[in-house]
Amino acid sequence: MRIEGQNAIVTGGGSGLGAAVARSLRDLGANVTTVDLKGGDVVCDVASAEDAVRVVGSLPAPRILVNCAGIAPAKRIVGREGPMNLEDFARVVQVNLIGTFNMLRLCAARMTSLDAMEDGERGVIVSTSSVAAFEGQIGQSAYAASKGGVASLTLPAAREFAQFGIRVLAIAPGVFATPMVTAFPQEVQDALGKSIPFPNRLGAPEDFAALVRHCIENRYLNGEVIRLDGALRMSPR
């Protein structure tokens, strides 16, 4: 899909990967609306049905949806104080998986009403999974489960929406220089970067945005979860 002139929604667009994607799409001429709890163009809790319906319904029908909203708290299933609170697990799944599905279902419904373009294409949806979906570490049970759900959602959604010319993809990033990681002491950041085979550094949000661009522009990419991790394979801890 040609990006210039298209309407796009980027969730989690107030910072980190989402902000980089929004900048990239705007530079390429897209009409971008960022959606976030803070820092975005529109305030929205993507995990809330009412919030998402209000926001998606108030905007022009998008050709592009990029789901970047997410949270990543670390907690063991059984810690020193006993088993993890069920509410803590549910909150991560609610934001990362249900929030992604919520925006996907609403934006896809809007996309079906758009005129078909080249190859019959009407829209593209790119969601954010994680390498934790495949190699979740100790303390990442909720996060890994939620991102595994995003990965598993991709193919059936792509198959269902094929009749409408809507492609669905997911990117599984490794360790990136997002606000959560850059808040660590510099020596911790350096150690994380050195653990990545090549390039021997943290991923830059611009690396993620570049892959999103390729996903949108390459009409033959569909139904795939793409790792973006510098050949990193996570250790148990």
Q: What confidence tier does 130 reach under pLDDT thresholds 50, 70, 90?
A: very high
Average pLDDT, the chain: 96
Mean pLDDT, rounded, for 153-157: 98
List residues with catalytic annotation: 143
Mean pLDDT, rounded, for 52-68: 98
- 157 falls within a domain: yes
SS (H, E, C) 187-200: HHHHHHHHCCCCCC
SS (H, E, C) the chain: CCCCCCEEEEECCCCHHHHHHHHHHHHCCCEEEEEECCCCCEECCCCCHHHHHHHHHHCCCCCEEEECCCCCCCCCCEECCEECCHHHHHHHHHHHHHHHHHHHHHHHHHHCCCCCCHHHCCEEEEEECCCHHHHCCCCCHHHHHHHHHHHHHHHHHHHHHHHHCEEEEEEEECCECCHHHHCCCHHHHHHHHHCCCCCCCCECHHHHHHHHHHHHHCCCCCCCEEEECCCCCCCCC
- 234 falls within a domain: no
Residue 187 has a pLDDT of 87
Q: What confidence tier does 180 reach under pLDDT thresholds 50, 70, 90?
A: confident
- 80 falls within a domain: yes
User: pTM to 2 decimals?
Assistant: 0.95
Residue 5 near residue 30 (C-beta atoms within 8 A):
yes
Residue 181 has a pLDDT of 85
Question: Any idea what the CATH number is for the domain that residue 188 is in?
Answer: 3.40.50.720
Residue 39 has a pLDDT of 87
Residue 118 near residue 71 (C-beta atoms within 8 A):
no
CB neighbourhood size of 50 (10 A): 8
Tally of structural domains, the chain: 1
pLDDT at 191 over 90: no
- 113 falls within a domain: yes
Q: Give residue-wise pLDDT tens across range 88-126.
A: 999 999 999 999 999 999 999 999 999 999 899 999 999
Residue 120 near residue 219 (C-beta atoms within 8 A):
no
Better-scored residue on pLDDT, 189 or 56 = 56
- 2 falls within a domain: no
- 235 falls within a domain: no
Residue 173 has a pLDDT of 97
Residue 25 has a pLDDT of 98
Residue 185 has a pLDDT of 85
- 233 falls within a domain: no
pLDDT at 183 over 90: no
Residue 189 has a pLDDT of 86
Mean pLDDT, rounded, for 6-31: 97
How far is residue 229 from each of residues 21, 152, 206, measured CA to CA in Å? 17, 19, 13
Tokens representing residue 127 in the block? 């969601």
The position carrying tokens 């669905």 is: 168
> Domain limits at 95?
7-228
- Strands lying side by side in the sheet with 166-173: 42-43, 31-36, 7-11, 64-67, 123-128, 166-173, 225-228
Query: Can the peptide bond before residue 197 be classed as cis, meaning omega within 30 degrees of 0?
Result: no
Tokens representing residue 72 in the block? 């990543």
- 237 falls within a domain: no
pLDDT at 237 over 90: no
Residue 114 has a pLDDT of 98
Q: What confidence tier does 53 reach under pLDDT thresholds 50, 70, 90?
A: very high
Q: Give 53's contacts (C-beta < 8 A, 6+ positions apart).
A: 106
Residue 184 has a pLDDT of 78
